[in-house]
Amino acid sequence: MSASQILTAAQMRDAEQRIFDTGTSVGELMETAAKGAAEWIRRIGAGRAVSVLCGPGNNGGDGYVLARFLKEWGIAVQIVAPEPPKTEAAANARLAWGGTVLTSGGRVEGDVFVDCLFGSGLARPLEPEHALLLRDLADRHAVRVAIDLPSGIATDTGDPLNEKLPCYDVTLALGAWKFAHCLSVARAYVGRLKLVPIGIDAVEGAAQRVSRPRIAAPGTSAHKYSRGLCAVVSGAMSGAALLAAQAAMRSGAGYVKLFGLPTTQGPAGLVCEPAALSDTLADTRISAVLVGPGLGRDAHARDVLDHALKCARPIVLDADALHLLEPHKIGKGTPIVVTPHDGELEALCASFCVLASGRMAKAQALARASGMVVLAKGPDSFVAAPDGALAIGPAASSWLSVAGSGDVLAGILASRLATGCSLFDAACEALWLHREAARLCGPAFTADDLASRVSEAMAACL
């Protein structure tokens, strides 16, 4: 089982069907899911009274079953179900509950509200009476828990399908993460996320949720070159390249060189090489190259980018390089990661004649069309590979919306590439380390502060 995979509603249905094909019944799977959810609710509620809102489908069936477990554990439970069950498994679950079922919220009050009205797969707005009941019950409880997904949230996009939907303290995902769990549009609705395993196997082609990487410390025989030489190319505005280099120095590479900057301008621990780029990039010990931060967009910047693209090393293209990149300049098989924000993603899609709707789809289409790995950064960050692999970055601090934070991300990524990571893995690791460094910084930090905390973020991965 893959704990990090993200499934669409259709993929989840297929994955559950594979479980049923082995002889497990819908009712048996419901018992497994609901018991796991009930365990979490017992912990969250700490013995306090629980109200469960059950819908007519199998999500409602989960509600009847988890209520039965809570009652058996000595917790006061009441169920509200505006409609009778419409599936055999849900009907059986209601019979097994055996207790009172209220058909309206009335004056139902309690401490913990559990939403089992509708789960994943919902594609249309809630009926007005259901939406009103949901809001009323949520308003009358101090703690709110959603089972699988908050009712009224679209599974595959995270879009709210109704106005004034309640926000939850916790969402208990059943079996696998869904896209709505991972996208910023639904973040306020889902609250904290917990995964309830139900035996779902790894699904081929599923997207992945970026999680904390496992990074090994250098071996006892390691030296600066065996750990990777990362080349950062400076340009018209050297501050951005310096930021990237400082982040790279703290991200695992054994040696970081800043090309194109006078030796007097960098920190003492950074090797600055002012020689001609055609000579410096010829060094066969270079493991990865970063071009773009502070590069500029004039003729000289174009020449710099051309030299870098010809050096036959894994390369990270960021910032100005993304506006200068021309499809015909990319050699066949050149290992490239690009790190566009929204405007740069639009420019790249135009250059590569990519038509798609939405940032995630654009990143995937651009990766397929260009052969590059695309790290599309923003409130939702996506890593897309030419073979269709897709990863979604973790929720990150909104304080990352500061000048220079993208340069830090590019430096981390180039450093991880230099250590020998694949393009896709390096991009995923960089996203996690960038987010963790921001968490360690706290509020209102600068890009320099962010770069300085990257080694602490690395420590969390050892």
pLDDT tens-digit series, residues 356-398: 999 999 999 999 999 999 999 999 999 999 999 999 999 999 9
DSSP state of 331: P
Q: What is the dihedral of CA 364, 365, 369, 372, to 10 degrees?
A: -20
**Residues ≥6 apart with Cβ < 8 Å to 256:** 229, 230, 231, 232, 245, 248, 249, 270, 271, 415
Q: Which two tokens stand for residue 179?
A: 């896209």
Residue 2 half-sphere exposure toward CB, CA atoms < 13 A: 16
| Overall fold of domain 229-459 | UDP-N-acetylmuramoyl-L-alanine:D-glutamate ligase (3.40.1190)
Nearest-angstrom CA–CA distance, 305 and 321: 7
pLDDT of residue 119: 86
Nearest-angstrom CA–CA distance, 355 and 363: 10
- Taking CA atoms, 199 is separated from 25, 33, 37, 350, 374, in Å, by 13, 9, 14, 43, 32
In contact, 152 and 121? CB cutoff 8 Å: no
The enclosing H or E element of 37 equals: helix 26-45
Residue 325's CB: how many other CB atoms inside 10 A?
24
Nearest-angstrom CA–CA distance, 55 and 334: 53
Whose tokens are 């690791």? That residue is 429
The enclosing H or E element of 405 equals: helix 405-418
Dihedral (CA of 70, 73, 75, 78) sign = positive
The amino acid occupying position 44 is I
The amino acid occupying position 31 is E
Q: Which two tokens stand for residue 226?
A: 């065996």
HEC assignment per residue over 181-239: HHCHHHHHHHCEEEEECCCCCCCCCCEEECCCCCCCCCCCCCCCCCCCEEEEECCCCHH
- Sketch the domain layout of the chain as residue ranges: 5-207, 229-459
pTM score of the predicted model:
0.94
Domain 5-207 class, CATH top level: alpha beta
Whose tokens are 């908050």? That residue is 150
Number of H helices, E strands in the chain: 17, 19
Digit-by-digit pLDDT tens for the chain (462 residues) are 345 999 999 999 999 999 999 999 999 999 999 999 999 999 999 999 999 999 999 999 999 999 999 999 999 999 999 999 999 999 999 999 999 999 988 888 889 999 999 988 888 999 999 999 999 999 999 999 999 999 999 999 999 999 999 999 999 999 999 999 999 999 999 999 999 999 999 999 999 999 999 999 999 999 999 999 999 999 888 899 999 999 999 999 999 999 986 655 678 788 888 877 877 888 899 999 999 999 999 999 999 999 999 988 999 999 999 999 999 999 888 899 999 999 999 999 999 999 999 999 999 999 999 999 999 999 999 999 999 999 999 999 999 999 999 999 999 999 999 999 999 999 999 999 999 999 999 999 999 999 999 999 999 999
